[in-house]
Amino acid sequence: MPEMYFHVRWPDGREERCYSPSLVIGDFLQPGRSYPVADFVQRCEQALGEASARVQQKYGYFCSSAMDQLGRIRDAARPFEGSDGTVQVESFQPGAR
């Protein structure tokens, strides 16, 4: 199953490389676009949940890496709750598989 990394910049300028076990992330996020923090988190919840389900369909188990990544995204977003900050999706990078 092809994997994808997506590079984001948080409202405080910090950059992060995030992981998706599926190319489905491209259905929810677009490089070069900014998303309000809450919208970004919601899109990641949908995308990584779907990606994990695809892994489950193919291999018989959910993708713990996708759920770990979602946890890191939620933690990173917490300081910006209630702000009007945005998350910039910088780029996508195909995985090595």
**Terminal alpha carbon distance of the chain:** 8
Q: What angle (nearest 5°) sits at the alpha carbon of residue 20, between those of residues 16 and 22?
A: 155
Tell me the three state secondary structure of residue 87: strand
- In 3-state terms, what secondary structure has residue 81? coil
| Per-residue pLDDT, 97 | 54
Q: At what angle do helices 64-77 and 37-59 cross, to 10 degrees?
A: 170
pLDDT of residue 33: 98
pTM comes to: 0.92
Question: Consecutive sets of 10 residues in the chain, 97 residues long: mean pLDDT of each?
Answer: 91 96 94 97 96 88 90 97 94 82
